């Protein structure tokens, strides 16, 4: 065992009954893990760097919903050969965490990656083992060069998001340079541009979460058992997905359709794994919507912060608590109806001001909620979405 590993702090910090967290140093890399209260860990959400370790954030909640652990790593930004060092530390730390937690399956559990800016290095780390990689979702980071991927790496579905405002990081040119060729090569890659953002995380989680949930549902057999060794991931079938028209994202109701029903050029459209993700993508891409989703818990414990495209609008909802939904309407538009959705599922409707609807006791889990409005000319539009985290008490 390397000397650095001997410094590992393997005392558990329990967040809720049955939950565990561990952390330690593995050479130049710090690695921390959150493990939900599950019999078998089905997978691992990975932050390679540029993230804080928490047991009460959206990633812990998503882990609880999916039965996934969450690993957060960090390394000196000036260190050389960071992806290789992070890859080694991930393997080593999971081995140690598996032994100490009583979850030996951690070493075989498939991975999902997420990250912002330098955190986009998670794709480089995970895709080195495509057989274990369900997907990665990176924001304001590198779009991979598909020409550098082998046949197995090209099978991994990837999501890239970035700010629509050009900035010094020059991420936008990579769309034509790498994303478009990847789609023309029939790769299952998604893309989203955040209006009002430059190099900002903004509302990226509201698109990443449904993408991750969809890919896990598609690729990971519910009966898969990593306690018996590596699990075989199912392939993504491109034609089972949905498509979003990237040329129609400068308004408030971008075109989406199933693969079979899409009328545009499939090779240039954003690929999306299912209808739920596609509906959220349309709301996520809504530009300058005159309607803003508002929400507050009925017990007054939480409400959405004022809308700012550069900030996340997560709402933490205690279990069995109703949520009051409403919208704020800018001057100059006459609204006929407002419908509230969680993904593709209709929650409820309001046909008169103040456009309120009470969502009674939403299910525990992560829900992306938005408002679809219709004006007096029967023209639809959608608000930007918010991520609701409904939590067990």
Write down which residue in 284, 307, 339 finishes a domain.
Answer: 284
Domain count, the chain: 2
Same-domain pairing of 232 and 127 = yes
Give the pLDDT band of residue 17 (cuts 50, 70, 90). Answer: confident
Percent over 70 (pLDDT), the chain: 96
Q: Does position 18 have pLDDT exceeding 50, yes or no? A: yes
Residues 301 and 245 in one domain: no
Radius of gyration of the chain (CA): 21
Domain boundary among 243, 265, 284: 284
Residue 220 is encoded by which pair of tokens? 């990971």
- For residue 303, what is the DSSP state? B
Q: Per-residue pLDDT tens for 74-127?
A: 999 999 999 999 999 999 999 999 999 999 999 999 999 999 999 999 999 999
12 shares a domain with 132: yes
68 and 98, same structural domain? yes
193 and 303, same domain (yes or no): no
Task: Judge whether 152 and 175 are in contact, CB under 8 Å.
Answer: no
Which structural domain, as residue segments, surrounds residue 56?
3-284
Pair 329, 188 in one domain: no
φ and ψ of 198, to 5 deg: -110, -110
Cα separation of 171 and 119, whole Å? 14
| Average pLDDT over every residue of 250-268 | 97
- Picking from 284, 304, 325, the residue at the C-terminal end of a domain is 284
My answer on whether 175 and 128 are in the same domain is yes
Q: Are residues 188 and 268 in the same domain?
A: yes
CB atoms within 10 A of CB 57: 18
Domain harbouring 364, CATH code: 2.60.40.10
pLDDT of residue 15: 55
11, pLDDT greater than 90: no
258, pLDDT greater than 80: yes
Say if residue 236 is in the same domain as residue 141.
yes
Assess whether pLDDT exceeds 80 at residue 198. yes
Written as one string, the DSSP assignment of 346-373 is EEEEE-STT--EEE-SPPSEEEEEEEEE
Same domain membership, residue 75 and residue 45: yes
CB atoms closer than 10 angstroms to residue 83: 18
Answer yes or no: do 72 and 163 share one domain: yes
Q: Which sign, positive or negative, has the C-alpha torsion 358, 363, 365, 369?
A: negative
* CA angle 254–256–257, rounded 5-degree value: 160
| 130 and 150 together in one domain | yes
Instruction: Provide the angle, in degrees to the nearest 10, between the axes of the packed helices 275-284 and 204-219.
Output: 170
**pLDDT for the residue numbered 9:** 40
Check which CATH number belongs to the domain holding 146 and give it. 3.40.50.1820
């Amino acid at each position: 065992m390397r000397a650095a590993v001997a410094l590992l702090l393997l005392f558990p910090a329990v967040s809720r009954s049955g939950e565990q967290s561990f952390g330690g140093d593995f050479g130049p890399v710090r690695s921390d893990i959150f493990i939900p209260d599950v019999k078998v860990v089905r997978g691992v959400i990975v932050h390679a760097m540029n993230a804080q370790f928490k047991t009460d954030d959206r990633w812990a909640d998503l882990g609880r919903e999916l039965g996934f652990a969450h690993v957060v790593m960090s390394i000196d930004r000036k260190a050389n050969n960071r992806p290789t060092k992070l890859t080694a530390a991930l393997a080593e730390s999971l081995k140690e965490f598996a032994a100490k937690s009583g979850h030996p399956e951690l070493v075989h559990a498939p991975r999902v990656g997420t990250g912002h800016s330098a955190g986009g290095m998670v794709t480089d780390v995970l895709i080195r083992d495509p057989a274990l990689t369900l997907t990665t979702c990176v924001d304001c980071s590198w779009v991979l060069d598909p020409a550098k991927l082998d046949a197995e790496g090209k099978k991994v579905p990837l999501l890239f998001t970035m700010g629509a405002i050009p900035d010094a990081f020059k991420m936008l040119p990579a769309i034509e340079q790498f994303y478009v060729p990847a789609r023309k090569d029939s790769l299952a890659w998604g893309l989203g541009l955040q209006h009002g953002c430059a190099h900002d995380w903004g509302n990226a989680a509201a698109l990443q979460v449904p993408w991750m949930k969809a890919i896990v549902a598609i690729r990971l057999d519910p009966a898969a058992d990593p306690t018996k060794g590596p699990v075989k991931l199912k392939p993504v079938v491109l034609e089972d997905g949905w498509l979003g028209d990237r040329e129609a994202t400068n308004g408030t109701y971008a075109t989406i359709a199933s693969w079979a029903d899409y009328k545009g050029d499939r090779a240039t459209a954003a690929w999306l794994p299912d209808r739920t993700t596609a509906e959220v993508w349309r709301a996520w891409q809504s530009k300058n919507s005159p309607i803003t989703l508002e929400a507050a818990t009925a017990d007054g414990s939480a409400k959405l912060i004022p809308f700012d495209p550069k900030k996340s609008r997560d709402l933490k909802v205690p279990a069995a608590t109703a949520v009051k939904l409403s919208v704020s309407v800018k001057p100059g538009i006459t609204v006929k109806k407002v419908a509230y959705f969680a993904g593709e599922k209709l929650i409820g409707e309001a046909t008169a001001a103040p456009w309120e609807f009470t969502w009674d006791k939403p299910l525990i889990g992560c829900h992306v909620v938005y408002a679809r409005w219709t004006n007096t000319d029967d023209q639809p539009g959608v608000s930007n979405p918010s991520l609701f985290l409904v939590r067990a008490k």
